[in-house]
Amino acid sequence: MPSQLVHALSSSVGSKILIALTGLGLAVFLVTHLAGNILFLFGPETFNTYSHTLLSNPLVYVAEAGLLVIFLLHVVKTLVLFFGAQQARPQGYHARRWAKTKSPRSRKSVASTTMIVTGLFTLLFLVTHLGTFKFGTYYESATGMRDLYRLQLEIFSHPGYVAFYMIAMALIFLHLWHGLTSAAQSLGVDHPQWTPRILAAGRVLAVVLAGGFFLLPLYTFLLARAS
């Protein structure tokens, strides 16, 4: 990579462009992840065949390495900007009110003010999630594939796990609510007619993604209870 490009991506604007690109990359992953996980609804055969096909493809290692790099870039860049922002205002205000109280032009929300918290929680969640599933108990199905269906059923039969996932998804929802719309702005995608639609589309996607992952553990829990 030319050093000039690295320099450009280190500036405040370049960093935000990189955060937006990596964030959108992670959102694309979430779309594919949700699409795959919905197959759980179709029973053990379908779900296990899907996961087996996915994981037995050697390209999955390349994809995983790519995801790791994207994730780390997203985390490191945001942390650098977060600490930079602390330095940019060493002395805060005694009285502080959102300017949104003065004009509705502000897009500030609970989601936008808690990005660092919801982001760090997502990091914690990810470690737990990988430990539970990817590196979790290895069950083998009758057909010789990894029985992830059984693992999911077993894990989400514990109400504690279901509650943890639901809280995590609520926080990830907040992260996506601001992040998906903010990414468009960082990348310079803005148009008087299109911006309101992009904002709406980002929020719908946030609801669909977080909502989907919110309902799956609940569905699994109810399914485990019923059987």
Q: How far is CA 49 from the centre of its chain?
A: 25
In contact, 227 and 201? CB cutoff 8 Å? no
1 belongs to the binding site for another protein (CB under 8 A): no
Please tell me whether residue 114 binds another protein under the rule CB under 8 A: no
Q: Which of 41, 130, 189, 222 binds another protein (CB under 8 A)?
A: 189
Q: Is 133 in contact with 148 (CB distance < 8 Å)?
A: yes
Selected binder of another protein within 46, 53, 57, 106 (CB under 8 A): 106
Of the pair 13, 130, the CB lying nearest another protein is at: 13
Q: How far apart are CA 10 and CA 28, in angstroms?
A: 24
Q: Which stretch binds another protein (CB under 8 A): 100-108, 134-142, 162-170, 208-216?
A: 100-108
Residue 175: Cβ-neighbour burial (10 angstroms; 0-12, 13-18, 19+): buried
Task: Identify residues 160-179 at the interface with another protein (CB under 8 A).
Answer: 178
Identified binder of another protein from the candidate list 34, 185, 218, 219, rule CB under 8 A: 185
- The DSSP 8-state label assigned to residue 140 in this structure reads B
Name the segment binding another protein (CB under 8 A); options: 12-20, 28-36, 159-167, 208-216.
12-20
Which one of residues 94, 138, 160, 227 is an interface residue with another protein (CB under 8 A)?
A: 94
114-117's contacts with Cβ under 8 Å and 24+ in sequence apart are 114/174, 115/78, 115/175, 115/178, 115/179, 116/78, 116/82, 117/171
Site string for another protein, 67-86 (x = CB under 8 A): --------------x--xx-
Compare residues 92 and 144 and give the one whose CB is closer to another protein.
92
Cα 151–Cα 165–Cα 139 angle in degrees, nearest 5: 10
Report the residue number, 61 or 194, with the smaller CB distance to another protein: 194
* Residue 118 binds another protein, judged by CB under 8 A: no
Tell me 158's DSSP state. S
Interface pick for another protein out of 1, 59, 88, 226 (rule CB under 8 A): 88
- For the CB of residue 52, give the shortest distance to another protein in the complex, in Å: 41
Positive or negative torsion for Cα 108, 111, 114, 120: negative
Place of tokens 């057909």: 143
Token pair recorded at residue 86? 């602390």
Residues binding another protein (CB under 8 A): 4-5, 8, 11-17, 81, 84-85, 87-108, 112-113, 115, 178, 181-182, 184-190, 192, 195
